[in-house]
Amino acid sequence: MSKIKVICTSTGCLEYAPERYRNLGIGIIRIRLNFEGKEYFEGLDLDPVDMYAKLATVTDVKGNLPSTAIPTHEEVAGAYQKAIDEGYDEVIMVCLDSYLGGTLNYIRLVGDEFADKLKIHIVDTKISSFPEGFLAVKAKEFVDKGMNGDDIVKELEWMIRHEEFIGIVNHLDYLIYNGRLKGGKAYLGKMLGICPILYFNRAGEITTLEKAMGSKKALKRMIEIMRAKVAGRDPKDYVLAHVYTTTTPLDKLIEFENAADFHTNHEDVIMSPVAGCHVGPWLAGYTLTMIRRPDEDINS
């Protein structure tokens, strides 16, 4: 029977999520962020609250965009070699959405160097932040139950097909100027009063789900959308959490939730600053991860 190691990219927010997720033995591959002439390694010297506070003070966003860099060869190869040294012969590598950069492809490329020693599963989560990390948590749970690697990947792929990430950003500057928002240039010069509800589509692209006139209507509409998504489903069969970069829009969202008697079933998790630096410091929204019931077809 294979001994399986689960590894996740740092954008999965396991180091920013509740402490119960931090000591599961899940490996972390760190992505780098460059801002104002300094390089940071996510999870080591990159505090998300401090980073978003810095981004909020930038007056010339277009001229001061943060940049991110794929992990080093040393980082990725070291993770694979450590797995071998610890007696693992199989790796499930849970990766940041491939649409958001070259990290996944690079991890796959370095993995080819270890193909004679490790069976490596590269999982494209098609999302970022806590849903990515929670997939790694579930993978580790499946490993501990004795499932084989191929079956674990099938379960993760089902979860990926049913995941959601929606949110609003009070200012679209970062998303537009760094090109992460599909069709974002259409908002230039037309932003007055329009608040798009953004989401990761099934291809992993950040795009517009709906448009609302003003952030208040957008926040209320997000509640309606997520209520419909979880309607009739037992809370044990999904994980619904707030995602945010600063608390200002989040506080308003929670106020509207209380009025609508709608609530999440998981602690809030701040967005990975490596992913969030491309969104900007004014995001609030939801992440939703479905957990497959026995009566649900794994191929659905």
Phi-psi region of 37 (alpha: psi -120 to 50; beta: other; left: phi over 0): left
Region 272-289 average pLDDT: 91
- CATH number listed for the domain at residues 164-290: 3.30.1180.10
Region 225-246 average pLDDT: 96
Where along the chain do the CATH 3.40.50.10170 domains lie? Answer: 4-161
Using one digit for the tens of pLDDT, what is the confidence trace for 2-23?
A: 899 999 999 999 999 999 999 9
Using one digit for the tens of pLDDT, what is the confidence trace for 102-131?
A: 999 999 999 999 999 999 999 999 999 999
Region 185-211 average pLDDT: 76
Task: Specify the range with the lowest mean pLDDT, choosing from 135-139, 147-151, 246-250.
Answer: 246-250
Cα 87 to Cα 17: distance, rounded to the nearest angstrom: 28
Going by C-beta distance under 8 Å and a sequence separation of 6 or more, which residues neighbour residue 256? 216, 219, 220, 223
Phi-psi region of 148 (alpha: psi -120 to 50; beta: other; left: phi over 0): beta
pLDDT of residue 188: 46
pLDDT of residue 189: 41
pLDDT band, very low/low/confident/very high, at 99 (cuts 50, 70, 90): confident
pLDDT at 212 over 80: yes
Phi-psi region of 240 (alpha: psi -120 to 50; beta: other; left: phi over 0): beta
- Stated pTM of the model: 0.93
pLDDT of residue 9: 97
pLDDT of residue 181: 60
| Domain spanning 4-161, CATH architecture | 3-Layer(aba) Sandwich (3.40)
Using one digit for the tens of pLDDT, what is the confidence trace for 236-277?
A: 999 999 999 988 899 999 999 999 999 999 999 999 999 888
pLDDT at 173 over 80: no
Cα 133 to Cα 23: distance, rounded to the nearest angstrom: 13
Using one digit for the tens of pLDDT, what is the confidence trace for 175-195?
A: 777 665 655 555 544 455 778
Q: Shortest CA distance to 121 belongs to which of 144, 97, 90, 83?
A: 90
